[in-house]
Amino acid sequence: MITISETKVDGLYVRQYFPAEPIFSANKVLFFHGYPGSQKNYDLAEHLALKGFECYVWHYRGAWKSEGLYSLVSNYRDTETILNFLKKKGCGDEAISLVGASWGGFVALETFARSPNLKKVVLLAPFINMGSDEKALQTGVRFLSSITKPSIRNYEKEDIEKDLRTIERDYNPLKKLSDLDGSKVLIIHGENDTICPIEHSVKIKSLFKTPARLYQLDGQDHFLHTRETVFDFCFSFLKEE
């Protein structure tokens, strides 16, 4: 039995899952969804809440039920707003775990780099390949531009390019991996992912100060359709002390 409630924090939509028996009360789980239009992971939040975790799923500003205008850079600023919301509820960094899917994995990893005392980090088919050259960056701009409409309004190709350049300069966690405890990180990635190829996850898992854990799912694409397997891996990892 769980209770689901909704609230707004500075215009940001937050969906809260409260278990009847909060077994893991020292571990709140905060979810980061992918680029708007992809999986919000409500099912995973519900599964973890049924297992005893308090879970929070929020929408980036300008996406779905959150107010304002969307931008990739605002994802980072709004993450701080949500973390402060949890801290006002009495949660320190050491009591908060992150689950980031696709682009949300990149945002979650940067959040971990800025707050390394966070409890755990789960990356689901994460985007973790920031273009280091102009050709790669332009490829990213074209791809994001192609999937922006109609989910996001008033966010044009030139806005995406400007934001990606800002992120490469100011919010790129890949430059900080050697300072991070990889034992706190679990990566789950489908071997047939053509949107965020798995080889990038394979490459980074050993770049942390201590290696991260990587589960490669046979026959799975970017959306990780074998949800029971994802549920089990996430639960087993998050409940570890």
pLDDT in tens, 81-127: 999 999 999 999 999 999 999 999 999 999 999 999 999 999 999 99
Residue 203: Cβ within 10 Å count: 12
Cα 142 to the center of its chain, rounded Å: 22
Look at phi and psi of residue 224 and say left if phi exceeds 0, alpha if psi is from -120 to 50, else beta: left
Low-confidence residues of the chain, pLDDT below 70? 37-39, 131-132
Residue 81: Cβ within 10 Å count: 16
Alpha carbon distances (Å) from 84 to 92, 93, 105, 110, 222? 9, 10, 20, 16, 31
Coil, strand or helix at 44: helix
pLDDT of residue 38: 61
pLDDT of residue 154: 87
Domains identified in the chain and CATH numbers: 2-236 (3.40.50.1820)
Coil, strand or helix at 6: strand
Structure tokens at 239: 């409940």
pLDDT of residue 16: 97
Q: Is 166 exposed, middle or buried (0-12, 13-18, 19+ CB in 10 A)?
A: middle
